[in-house]
A = this chain, B = another copy of it.
Amino acid sequence: MTVHLKDLGRAVLETEYAVRGPIVARAQELEKQGREIIYCNIGNPQSLGQKPLTWNRQILALCEYPELMAAASGAFPVDVVETARAILAGTRHGLGAYSESRGVRFIREAVAEFILERDHMRVDPDAIFLTDGASKGVQTILRLLIAGPEDGIMIPIPQYPLYSATITLYEGRMVPYYLDEAQGWKLNRAMLEQSLAEAKAQGTRVKAICVINPGNPTGAVLDEDNIGMILDFAQAHGLSVLADEVYQENIYLAGDTFTSFAKVLHQKDLRDVSLFSFHSCSKGFLGECGVRGGYFEYRNVPEDVAAQILKLQSVSLCANLAGQVATYAMVRPPKPGMPSYATYAAERAAILDALKHRALLLAEGLNRIEGITCNVIAGAMYAFPSITLPPGRTDFDYAMALLEQTGICVVPGSGFGQAEGTAHFRTTILPPTEKIQQVVKDLAEFHRTYR
């Protein structure tokens, strides 16, 4: 054979993505052998029984096959038909043609309106790019920023491994900063300064800081003060900011709200910090992971750099059009008074209420287990509890044994990074309520007896 492992590059070989790593592979093996597996490893709501929103799917069906507007008009509410018509007119050629590299302008204008309503400020539709899920957007921006092997990107520990994997693939340096577990996983200026100083001392040119809010895997929701602190830090050191805001609809505590980095950037009138924000159709209450829809938007990016972003996106032609349409459906839900509103509101409430209930149930259940401690799950779709381990055992051993003994599939904390001397795992809050109860019960028994 002409391709051999020994000829592959370090970048490829060292890339790791624990969310789909060896524990998941083993779970699939066990499942083939007939074992029941509870997949808590990945934020994939519809694989665990969550239903798609009728609004989204009716619009997608009509856009895929517009003849249905005549052939089955009775099957669709009039607002769905009108919306599908407007989208098809906006695409000009339907879902079968490549769009502009940035995505269909009509849809980007809708995204700009969504941001205007959310943050009370305008954004240029040409500073918005529709992407195949948020991951592709993050990859593009990291590709843009990493110019050489000394370039570093600050990432949280624990982090979502898309960041570590992509930085490794582009042969940059990861500059880890720790989230403060004792303070509900918030960011801490002293810890940011320390991380940056250490990186600089090693000759790293730090280019940007990535923040995930609400947090994956931590479940933390950052407040305006914490976001302002991060932006001040970025400004003080000339860093760009990547704000991963894919869980912005997943907020569970009474009184908490989502605040975007873009909003705080404008409130503070920081014109010298370049900001890239990411959103997705895969999370929130849509959970449309398979659609691969999403967008990124940027602020304070010079025109010549913006042209480079456009060029990078153009090599992949455009994001898939069904995903672009799903993004439209996400940012333009039916409004009160429209025929689809009642169903939409009921479906949304049922999903968010269930997630809220499971977040509470899971954190409480985990905290009742001796040797497991879990912060409040304020947002996103995960718990990242701290666990005590018997001597000589790693969190990987623990997660594998948990799988073998109980069928519960979680990801070891080492896949996300964790403070020296601590051990964790990540579990989603997505299984149905009765399964969450089973997870807590089986985990308690497993943890008590694990040696």
A interface residues (Cβ-Cβ under 8 A, vs B): 1-5, 7-10, 12-13, 15-17, 19-20, 42, 44-47, 52, 54, 57-58, 60-62, 64-65, 67-68, 71-72, 74-75, 91-99, 101, 132-133, 135-136, 139, 143-148, 151, 162, 165-166, 169, 207-208, 234-235, 238-240, 271-274, 282, 287-292, 300-302, 304-305, 308, 311-312, 314-323
By the criterion CB–CB under 8 Å, are B98 and A315 in contact? no
> What would 15 more interface pairs be, CB under 8 Å, given A1-B300, A292-B319?
A1-B272, A2-B208, A2-B274, A3-B240, A9-B147, A15-B312, A17-B314, A42-B98, A46-B96, A61-B61, A64-B322, A98-B282, A132-B132, A133-B317, A162-B315
Residues of chain B with a CB closer than 8 A to A97's CB? 44-47, 289-290
Residues of chain B with a CB closer than 8 A to A321's CB? 290-292
Pick the most buried of A91, A95, A162, A240: most chain B CB atoms within 10 A of its CB. Answer: A95
By the criterion CB–CB under 8 Å, are A320 and B12 in contact? no
By the criterion CB–CB under 8 Å, are A144 and B8 in contact? yes
Return the contact of A1 from the options B9, B42, B68, B301 (Cβ within 8 A). Answer: B301
A353 nearest CB across to chain B (Å): 19
Residues of chain B with a CB closer than 8 A to A146's CB? 9
Residues of chain B with a CB closer than 8 A to A46's CB? 93-94, 96-97
By the criterion CB–CB under 8 Å, are B315 and A15 in contact? yes
Q: Tell me the complex Cα distance, A44–B379, Å.
A: 42
Q: Tell me the complex Cα distance, A238–B44, Å.
A: 42
By the criterion CB–CB under 8 Å, are A207 and B7 in contact? yes
Q: Tell me the complex Cα distance, A238–B3, Å.
A: 8
A137 nearest CB across to chain B (Å): 12
By the criterion CB–CB under 8 Å, are A147 and B8 in contact? yes
Residues of chain B with a CB closer than 8 A to A235's CB? 2
A235 nearest CB across to chain B (Å): 8
Q: Tell me the complex Cα distance, A318–B288, Å.
A: 13
By the criterion CB–CB under 8 Å, are B1 and A292 in contact? no
Return the contact of A64 from the options B57, B139, B165 (Cβ within 8 A). Answer: B57
Quick one: given A1-B301, A46-B97, A312-B12, are A320 and B320 in contact (CB under 8 Å)? yes
